[in-house]
């Protein structure tokens, strides 16, 4: 049997945590660590390239939207349809990664679907049941591994306020660090609900990183985990 016929979908690894928790910095350091000290190099989505939407993707996109809508309505989760709809564009990216990056052992996302399910608005009165309902509907399309960067709200808010990323300006324009920390504090339970749900899942694996550790240390931890995943993955031996 040829190697090509043995190619399977890549393992998708997605980081999540508050803006300012260190997701991007940790992912970059992990990739740099692997480049210098390992034969494993994941495809870092967005940095190594992107997969733009094309006309040929439309049938699959429509089918996904219908599956999400049907799952929400049939499961009596209609109230969470807006939350799930915000995640569809990222779900489509994950689907394209599985299809078009076959042959890669690992595809790394410093953020994707999960970032769309919380911090929706200041008035968001989300419950554990609502988050779990959304995850249940979206589960077949989610990444294989989730890395939670668990950073205290005040620490993440301070980092968020001090950085200069253009994307940092949009969500909380003219907010003080205290305002951001207050929102993060109210949403911290949401991250924990997600982490708990991932730990109960039979098809998704959760990795926790302490966001108060130095970026370098967390980057090394993530690099070792990626190397382990790649070694176990069928595409890793191609």
How many angstroms separate the most distant Cα atoms in the chain? 60
Quick one: tokens of 2? Answer: 């040829």
Q: What is the pLDDT of residue 5?
A: 45
- The pLDDT confidence band at residue 88, using thresholds 50, 70 and 90, is confident
Q: Is pLDDT of 188 > 60?
A: yes
**Chain segment 110-141, per-residue pLDDT in tens:** 998 998 888 766 667 778 888 888 898 889 99
Residue pair 56/100 in contact (Cβ under 8 Å)? The answer is: no
H or E segment to which residue 99 belongs: helix 81-100
pTM flag (> 0.85): yes
Quick one: tokens of 137? Answer: 């509907």
Residue pair 107/42 in contact (Cβ under 8 Å)? The answer is: yes
| Between 36 and 72, the higher pLDDT residue | 36
Q: Is pLDDT of 211 > 60?
A: yes
H or E segment to which residue 197 belongs: helix 177-200
Question: By CB neighbour count within 10 A (0-12 exposed, 13-18 middle, 19+ buried), where does 117 fall?
Answer: buried
Number of continuous H segments (helices) and E segments (strands) in the chain: 7, 5
Buried b (16+ CB within 10 A) or exposed e, 188-219: bebbebbeebbeeeeebbbbebebebeeeebb
Give CA separation, 41 vs 12, 25, 144, 156, 219, in Å.
Answer: 13, 17, 18, 28, 14
Buried b (16+ CB within 10 A) or exposed e, 52-68: eeeeebeeebeebeebb
Rounded to an integer, what distance in angstroms lies between the CA atom of residue 147 and that of residue 52? 25
**Chain segment 23-52, per-residue pLDDT in tens:** 999 999 999 999 898 888 889 998 888 888
């Amino acid at each position: 049997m040829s190697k090509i016929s043995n190619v399977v979908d890549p393992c998708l690894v997605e980081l999540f945590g508050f803006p300012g928790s260190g997701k991007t910095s940790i992912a970059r350091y992990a990739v740099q660590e692997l480049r210098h000290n390992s034969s494993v190099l994941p495809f870092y989505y967005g940095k190594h390239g992107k997969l733009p939407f094309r006309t040929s993707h439309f049938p699959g996109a429509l089918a996904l939207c219908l599956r999400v809508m049907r799952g929400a309505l049939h499961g009596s989760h209609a109230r969470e349809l807006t939350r799930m709809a915000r995640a569809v564009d990222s779900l489509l990216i994950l689907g394209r990664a599985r299809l078009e990056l076959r042959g890669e052992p690992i595809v790394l996302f410093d953020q994707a679907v999960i970032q769309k399910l919380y911090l929706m608005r200041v008035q968001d009165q989300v419950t554990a049941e609502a988050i779990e309902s959304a995850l249940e509907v979206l589960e077949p399309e989610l990444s294989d591994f989730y890395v939670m960067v668990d950073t205290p709200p005040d620490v993440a808010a301070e980092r968020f306020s001090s950085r200069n990323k253009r994307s940092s300006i949009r969500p909380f324009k003219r907010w003080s660090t205290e305002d951001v920390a207050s929102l993060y504090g109210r949403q911290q339970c949401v991250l924990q609900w997600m982490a708990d749900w991932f730990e109960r899942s039979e098809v998704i694996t959760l990795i926790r990183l302490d966001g108060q550790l130095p970026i370098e240390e967390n980057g090394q931890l993530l690099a070792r985990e990626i190397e382990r995943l790649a070694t176990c993955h069928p595409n890793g031996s191609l």
